[in-house]
Every structure is written in C-alpha cells, then in structure tokens.
Amino acid sequence: MWFDALLAALPGARVLEVGAGPGLLAAHARRRFPGRWVASDLLPVPGNDLAADALRLPVRDASLDGVAGLDVLHHLARPAAFFAEAGRALSRGGRLALVEPWVTPFSYPIYRFLHQEGCRLGIDPWEPFGPGPGKDAFEGDGALPWKLLRSTGADGWRALGFEPPAVRILNGFAYLASLGLKPKSLLPAPLAGPLLALDHGLRGLAPWLGMRALLVWRRATS
C-alpha cells in the first residue's frame, strides 16, 4: 500500500530512488512503474543499479522527473544538502516523493520506546545529529520528518527550490503485525489482506493512528 502510494505520486519516466537498501521498493516499482526506475544506495548492493551518495548524485542538472525514497530522510545528518541536491537533479515541476516515519498519538510511544532509533520531539531537524559528519550510518530519528515540516514554512521550502510539500498520513497496522521491513514476520499470510483493508478503512483516522507519511515536494517552476 505504501509502495503504491509513493509510485502514484511520481510523474514522468525518469525516477531515481535514493537509499534503496535491499531493493524492496525497487523490485515493486519495476513491476508497476511505467517509466525507468533506477535504484541507488550509498554502498553497492546486489540488485541496485548504482552506488551513489544522495548528497552528490551522479546525474546532470534537471535530468530527472522524480526522486524517490523509503525511510531515507530521517537518517540524514544534513537534510538541507539533500534537498539542494534533489532540487538540482529534478527538472522544473519534477517531484521528490518520500515515505517516512510520522509522529501521531499512536505512533509516538512505539517509535519512542519500542524502536531501536530515536524519536525526539525537540530535535533540530536541519542539524539532527549535531554538527559535523559524526553519526552511525544506520542512526536515525523518527521525529525528524514530522519536525522538519512543522518548523519550515512556505518561504523556507521555496528558498530550497521547492513548493511546500503535500502530506498524506498512512496507517500501518499490517506493518506493525509484520514486524516491519524485516525477514521475520508475526503476520500470517491469510491476515495480510484483512489488515491492509483495515489500514485503508481507517484512513480517516490516520492523523491519530498513522505510522508513516507520504511527503511530496514539487520542484519550483520559477
């Protein structure tokens, strides 16, 4: 469900996925996305197309219709540099689409107390892990995307070359039952469909019950 929501937010034929990791999103996109999908990660990973730093993308200016990512932003030590690089790579009107953790009354105690990453409501979203590059590669903070959007107005986004983002909060009951993006799962296959239907049926309550958000920025046209 999250994968399909992300794909539907992306226009055009040329999309670069950053932080692709083991390629779960890329495998789905190559079956469903009508355009060209290129998967990248900081380190070489079997099944991905290239190794690339999301802060120094090996593409020409304005050469992409979309930049996509799943659980990328909340790991970045320098979010402003990422937005600047994505803006450089995107054509005018292109989109940056990310699915990220999101703080709701339901998700906060889970991220704060039951997850290996942090979830600090008072985090500085533009310097989330302190000055300099000193952070572990897998260190992340689930509150970062939520705080970034709460603390950045329209003028701030336009200064980075983007229109203010659209936000769609997504439920995650099936995700929780499956233990997330992990090899092991507590979710029996026959229950996957009903729980996904529950996620969809309770979408109106996602601002209180959601676990993730689809965040979509449009590259400014002027």
The total of structural domains in the chain comes to: 1
- Residue 98 sits at φ, ψ, to 5 deg, of -130, 140
Distant-in-sequence contacts of 117-122, Cβ < 8 A, 24+ apart? 117/74, 117/141, 117/142, 118/142, 118/143, 119/143, 121/147
Any residues with CB less than 8 A from the CB of 171 and at least 6 apart, and which?
A: 198, 199, 200, 202, 203, 205, 206, 209, 210, 211
Measured CA to CA, the distance from residue 213 to residue 184 in angstroms comes to 24
Please report, as a single letter, which amino acid is at residue 148: L
Owner of token pair 């996904």? 196
Would you write out the chain's pLDDT as a tens digit for each of its 222 residues?
Answer: 789 999 999 987 899 999 999 898 999 999 999 999 999 999 998 989 999 999 999 999 999 999 999 999 999 999 999 999 999 999 999 999 999 999 999 999 999 998 889 999 999 999 999 876 667 878 999 999 999 999 999 999 999 999 999 999 999 877 777 666 455 555 566 766 787 787 888 899 999 999 999 999 999 987
Give the domain CATH number at 84: 3.40.50.150
Beta-carbon contacts of 113 under 8 Å, excluding residues fewer than 6 positions away, are none
- Are 140 and 74 a contacting pair, CB within 8 Å? yes
Helices (H) and strands (E) in the chain, counts: 9, 7
pTM of the model: 0.93
CA angle at residue 10 from 9 to 16, to 5 degrees? 135
* Residue corresponding to tokens 């937005």: 83
Domain span holding position 72: 2-218
